[in-house]
Amino acid sequence: MDNRCNEFLPAFIPLDKEISLGNCLHNNFPDWFSFYPHPHNAKDQLHKLDDIIISTSSDPLACIIISDVSIKNHIATSILHVHFFNQLIIKICHQAINIFTTEAELFAIRCSINQAIGIPYIKCIVVITNSLHAAKKIFDSLLHPYQIHSAVIAHELREFFNKHMNNHIKFWDCPSKKNWQLYTVVDKDTRGFEASVYFPCKSSWDFSKKCFCDDIVSQ
């Protein structure tokens, strides 16, 4: 077994320029990103998501990424579906052990952005997720246990925004229970993905150590 899969990564990068005062994304690119939380009227949100899919399908400069995360037996599975102009849906699956839900959600968003930026000429990225709270941490300048992920994502977005003044990213909230068709496909795929753990005793022991370390960080 590759022990690198179980190593403890640092939570903070105090010297990273992405989190320095005055250099954060919300200071330099306030109009390049936006969030669309789930409203009280569920039908309005679902209709808007349908409209986004229709409009993006005919726009070669835009792509939509639908992501979901499931954790079973300390194994986090994230699955992304990438919808791009006149292309087959790209499916990406990642797995990690001994991480908490927010970490897995941020990692899924990180993979989403990385995948979208790699598509030539993309100017608009739409991320549809049920983890809007995790996405907001990317633009949070305060110290938090997920800062290492936020710094990496912020660096990628900074490069994306600097390429063209019209480049932007939108985060749309889509709760699982609302049964929006395209999200439901990803959600079922994620929850139904079976994964086996090698050396489960070691996995449980590592997870216990991580819980202890995370408690210290939170305090």
Give residue 122's pLDDT. Answer: 92
In-domain check, residue 219: no
Q: Which residues pair with 92 in a beta bridge?
A: 80
Classify residue 72: in a domain, yes or no.
yes
Whether 10 maps to a domain, the answer reads no
Predicted confidence (pLDDT) per residue in 164-203, tens digit = 999 999 999 988 777 898 998 998 888 877 665 554 544 4
Contact (Cβ atoms closer than 8 angstroms) between residue 123 and residue 62: yes
Site of tokens 């070691």: 202
Length in residues, the chain: 219
Identify whether 5 is part of a domain: no
Q: What CATH number has the domain bearing residue 125?
A: 3.30.420.10
Name 63's bridge partners: 84, 125
Structural domain tally of the chain? 1
pLDDT in tens, 38-82: 877 777 888 889 998 888 888 999 999 999 988 887 788 888 999
The answer, yes or no, to whether residue 125 has pLDDT greater than 90, is yes
Please give the average per-residue pLDDT across 132-151, as a whole number: 82
In a domain, 12, yes or no: no
Query: Buried b vs exposed e over 108-131: b needs ≥16 C-beta within 10 Å?
Result: bbbbbbebbbebeebbbbbbbbbb
Burial of residue 96, with CB atoms counted within 10 A of its CB: 0-12 exposed, 13-18 middle, 19 or more buried: middle
Percent of the chain with pLDDT over 90: 19
Which region among 12-16, 72-76, 115-119, 170-174 has the lowest average model confidence (pLDDT)? 12-16
- What six digits make up the tokens of 147? 């800062």
The answer to whether residue 62 sits within a structural domain is: yes
Whether 16 is covered by a domain: the verdict is no
List the domain range (segments joined by +) for residue 129: 22-181
